[in-house]
Chain A
């Protein structure tokens, strides 16, 4: 799947989980840029993304992401 397509699907998941209809993600977005994206909601996001793409991240991957782009690379690599 193309990165752009993944980003748009991930953005939809973020909007739903964080309950922010107009949230826009870019490759460079970090947790600090998004309201309510904290360690607790991060767990929800990860679980939702895993379900959506039918993949499993490793704990190491989850801790290594510095921005949305790295998260998307992980998804793409599965």
Chain B
């Protein structure tokens, strides 16, 4: 077991410690195998990472009854998420019982069954559903010939898995626990225990369970907006082999030199992460010009300076440097991963910044990449094309930070930015990004109600709601869609601010006031008089605790905030110009 994945025994001990004070999350687990250990593993994993999973565990092999009987305990429980675990062992048994015709269209049948399960749960509960892909155990009935006949189980189970993956691409609220790749990684000799299966109908070994439960936890957390956004790289012996200051440009190991291949492949992987939207930062004890040299000049480097959002190389301690990187990126420490070969530096960072994830990299660089891949550090619940350009956004942000430090008064700085905003109701282009912001945003989020893309689409078409999205650009670049508003019509006079969410990248730009002005303009044009706002406290949104007060709302006895729009006068000037798209 790896240093960063807890053993099953450790997870059980977590349960004994209790989950008091942790935020609770309701999860239903339905399985066609014995699920007692799965449930314990998920519970223990939750406690390890600060979540109290309240779990409804369905009776053994009751998936159909729980899902298709709308009066079942599943629906009574009202979970936030439903995990349905199906085993290859049951699948193969079912496959064997079928006549030839059933075997040849087995995958289609299975995928439509999975679709029904998902649709039913989705209709009744509207929550996200996690299904698993099946470990592709070869049944050795046709030998290697199995690829050449559609009547073989290996062919059909692979097709089922592919079908499930396609299905999950069509259904926004359907997520797959990829047990096939998990089992592939640990191997069925370790991941499956025949004795546990024959004696107890348990299909996951005690060694597999911590990985399985960690992945379930990762999916649930990502769906709820908690995931990694940034990886910070040490350089010497992490990004390349050797020490640039001592070994020189020609002496560092990368490409074909020494252990270079290990570092090259790690860089290629990090670059792929960058392309999918993970921000890359560098934090190295080095002289800056020397540290940058390989990025600029070494022909075998896969990472280049334009891949790095924030580059910090100096002789200060790493804790301060990581805090500096955090202040520029303005994201939570819990969304950052720090990679460093030096156990001493790692421990120092872990101690000073408990929320940051610091994997215990293996001693041998040859093992870095394989090890990191087992940790599933970069789970996500969404992907849009805008993710790809995120590095550029953060590089622009670093330039703004530097400019801001040159101004002594804020108004002068804001004016010099030459900000322009595009304001419009949600449309097909903005809906995916709005949904993503709804999932990701933790700090500037007044009520933290999470909406999926399907939800946002419904709201945009509903006649009970008004919506606004905000795109902002300045002289350094385009921030993209950085804020949105959902207003609910309570009666002919009153609008309730259901969602007010803003990206923290545009904090202190006057965007709050500009947004309120836009709301008031829209609301008045439709004859509304009063605006009601609400602040629901979470662990992370303390930033907007006094949001409505600052904007001139008055608090009523029920704790909500209201604004009489006829008498509303903006108190501060904004330096944002409204433009057409």
Contacts and interface: CB of A to CB of B under 8 A. Distances in A.
A16 B195 CA distance: 22
A43 B195 CA distance: 9
A43 B200 CA distance: 9
A19 B285 CA distance: 44
B308 interface: no
B193 interface: yes
A43 B196 contact: yes
Interface stretch (B7-15, B242-250, B457-465): B7-15
B421 interface: no
A62 B199 CA distance: 10
Interface string B183-208: 00000000001111011101001100
Contact of A19 (B8, B12, B193, B198): B12
Given A16-B9, A19-B12, A47-B206, A40 B37 contact: yes
A17 B12 CA distance: 9
Prevailing SS type, chain A contact patch: helix
Contacts of A59: 194-195, 198-199
A48 B12 CA distance: 14
Prevailing SS type, chain B contact patch: helix
Contacts of B206: 43-44, 47
A71 interface: no
B16 to A, nearest CB: 6
A53 to B, nearest CB: 15
B37 A62 contact: no
Nearest to B195: A59
Interface size class of B (residues with CB under 8 A): 10 to 19
Interface residues of A, number: 14
Contacts of A44: 8-9, 12, 206
A49 B7 CA distance: 15
B9 A62 contact: no
Contacts of A48: 9
B210 to A, nearest CB: 13
B152 to A, nearest CB: 29
B36 interface: yes
A75 to B, nearest CB: 16
A46 B12 contact: no
A46 B16 contact: no
Interface string B20-41: 0000000000000000110000
A59 B194 CA distance: 9
B413 to A, nearest CB: 58
Contacts of B37: 40, 43
Given A16-B9, A43-B202, A44-B9, 18 more contacts: A19-B13, A39-B200, A40-B36, A40-B37, A43-B37, A43-B196, A43-B199, A43-B206, A44-B8, A44-B206, A47-B193, A47-B205, A47-B206, A48-B9, A57-B195, A59-B198, A59-B199, A62-B199
Interface of A: 16-17, 19, 39-40, 43-44, 46-48, 57, 59, 62-63
8 closest Cβ pairs, A-B complex: A47-B206, A59-B195, A59-B198, A43-B196, A40-B36, A59-B199, A19-B13, A17-B9
